[in-house]
Amino acid sequence: MNWLLVIVGGMVGAPLRYLTDRAVQLRHDTAFPWGTLAVNVAGCLVLGLLAGAASAGAASAHLQFLLGTGLCGALTTYSTFSYETLRLAEDGAGFYAVANVIASVAAGLGAAFVGVSFAEALWG
């Protein structure tokens, strides 16, 4: 049963990642990968909320499989982040490459922290 929850979550997360990435990137006329940054930060926020809820006993194992492993696993993308950063560096956009790494790590960790804190305030 758990594998089915992961599949269902992934079936939502993968197209959501693609559509969000495209929608965000179309609004920015730059080489910086805003779409990938947006989905990764959103996924970190959701995962932080879920982790905080789970730690407070407010999120079942089924919800963790569905949202944590399935949705967030398909929504976020470390491989695309890595590829886009490498591509920026190879194309001579070193500033954007470094900015992408710093922004992704800082915003991702920040979003996860906010998610956990919010969940603890609600259920802790």
AA identity, residue 13: G
Give residue 102's domain range.
2-123
Q: Give me the pLDDT at residue 124, please.
A: 79
Task: Yes or no: say if 20 and 6 are a contact pair by the CB < 8 Å rule.
Answer: no
Reported as a pLDDT band with limits 50, 70 and 90, residue 118 is very high
Percentage with pLDDT > 70 across the chain: 100
Q: Give me the pLDDT at residue 29, please.
A: 87
Tokens of 123: 């259920």
Helix (H) or strand (E) holding 97: helix 94-123
Reported as a pLDDT band with limits 50, 70 and 90, residue 52 is very high
AA identity, residue 60: S
Give the number of domains in the chain: 1
3-class SS at 54? helix
